[in-house]
Amino acid sequence: MKYNFCAGPSILPPEVFADAAKGVLDFEGSGLSILEISHRSDAFGSVLSECEQLVRELLGVPGGYSILFLQGGASAQFAQLPLNLLPIEGRAGYMDTGVWANKAIREAQKIGRVDVVASSADQNYTYIPQGYDIPEDLAYLHLTSNNTIYGTEFFEFPVTPVPLVSDMSSDIFSRVFDVSKFGTIYAGAQKNLGPAGLALVIVKDDLLGRTGRVLPSIFDYQQHISARSLYHTPPVFAIYVALLNLRWLKAKGGVAVVEQENIIKARVLYEEIDRNSLFRATANPSDRSRMNVVFVADTKEVESEFLVFAQQRGLVGLKGHRSVGGFRASIYNAMTIQGVNALVDAMQEFEDQYKR
């Protein structure tokens, strides 16, 4: 038995893997693989519309928003979003809260004017900034709702006079939030949605068509909206697996139910980190991510030893990102409380052995 704490690509529920495997061999009794059917077939059309429907239902997406399933991951959105929302003469506001937020900033700067309205770079991105001004003439304010690498998360979103845009790659579907507070949301799929190779974009229709830019069709949200994500061949397998995962989420009771589980899993793990004399969490306590639990030990030796110790117990994917070091336990929706308990047990055993 292995528990995989990888940050992404990451675990999905075992039943989703099993159903995806079936679909590769024989998609819903068609005698064909999901990998070989046309993206314009009725069968795939049903996959796409059910997937869209489930996104709407599970997140409570109100009318007036389009749902897109695009290629290029979240990184493509770092560029595609300003191309579609930032007017040639306008400026956009960005919050600099980590590596991904920073990449989003750098890409947007290639497209137009960007103002960084707040940053937590001064303390190695260990906190979510508070108390900053948001100029009223921004085309939008961009933030990264969960900072996968540094393990910080926005638990309150800024109230803005301008459209709020969020990269929700690593916390979408993990907690309840009000979509109507956002102008656009995007997410790479490979955490709580599905396999890599897919980005979900939820965009408020009335924000489009205001930039004065003429875009290549492939980068134009409006083209994808008009074609209902079939402007070209979409990532069919990733969309299919996302559908299976969203069905799983719905059968569990939806986002509110997994949110409660996620709160408990995160609490159990942070409590152990705080208690254990060998480990220390890096993020500001009130901003600690429920998805990516980042912690360190006092020395590199202890860190390497614990990684081996954990690996021997089937706990994998715990090595922290190179910019923080230490450990990162990603406890997405599909991670069970048993997995978290197994990690906690390993931390306690390791401490006992270490002290002897």
Ligand X SMILES: Cc1ncc(COP(=O)(O)O)c(C=O)c1O
Give me the residues that bind ligand X (CB under 6 A), please: 8, 73-75, 100, 144, 148, 167, 169-170, 188
169 versus 333: smaller Cβ distance to ligand X:
169
Give Cα 158 to chain centroid, integer Å.
19
Is 90 within 8 Å of 113 (Cβ atoms)? yes
Location of structure tokens 């979409």: 234
The yes-or-no answer on residue 171 being catalytic is: no
Q: Give the separation between CA 185 and CA 175, rounded to whole angstroms.
A: 14
The active-site residue out of 19, 96, 100, 319 is 100
Residue 133 CB, shortest distance to ligand X, in Å, is 25
Residue 188 CB, shortest distance to ligand X, in Å, is 3
Residue 75 CB, shortest distance to ligand X, in Å, is 3
Q: Which residue, among 186, 202, 194, has the nearest Cα to 108 in the 3D structure?
A: 186
52 versus 167: smaller Cβ distance to ligand X:
167
Q: Give the separation between CA 120 and CA 124, rounded to whole angstroms.
A: 7
Residue 149 half-sphere exposure toward CB, CA atoms < 13 A? 15
167 versus 287: smaller Cβ distance to ligand X:
167
Q: Which residues pair with 330 in a beta bridge?
A: 292
163 versus 197: smaller Cβ distance to ligand X:
197
The yes-or-no answer on residue 355 being catalytic is: no
The yes-or-no answer on residue 191 being catalytic is: yes
Q: Which residue, among 46, 71, 77, 51, has the nearest Cα to 203 in the 3D structure?
A: 77
Query: In this structure, what DSSP letter does residue 145 have?
Result: S
Residue 151 CB, shortest distance to ligand X, in Å, is 11
170 versus 262: smaller Cβ distance to ligand X:
170
With H, G, I as helix, E, B as strand and everything else as coil, classify residue 70: strand
The active-site residue out of 19, 171, 191, 319 is 191
Q: Give the separation between CA 339 and CA 2, rounded to whole angstroms.
A: 9
Q: What angle do CA 122, 127, 131 make, to 5 degrees?
A: 85
Which two structure tokens, joined as six digits, stand for 142? 């961009």
Residue 200 CB, shortest distance to ligand X, in Å, is 11
* Chain residue whose CB lies nearest ligand X: 73
With H, G, I as helix, E, B as strand and everything else as coil, classify residue 35: coil
44 versus 150: smaller Cβ distance to ligand X:
150
Residue 73 CB, shortest distance to ligand X, in Å, is 3
Is 197 within 8 Å of 189 (Cβ atoms)? yes
Residues annotated as part of the active site: 100, 167, 191
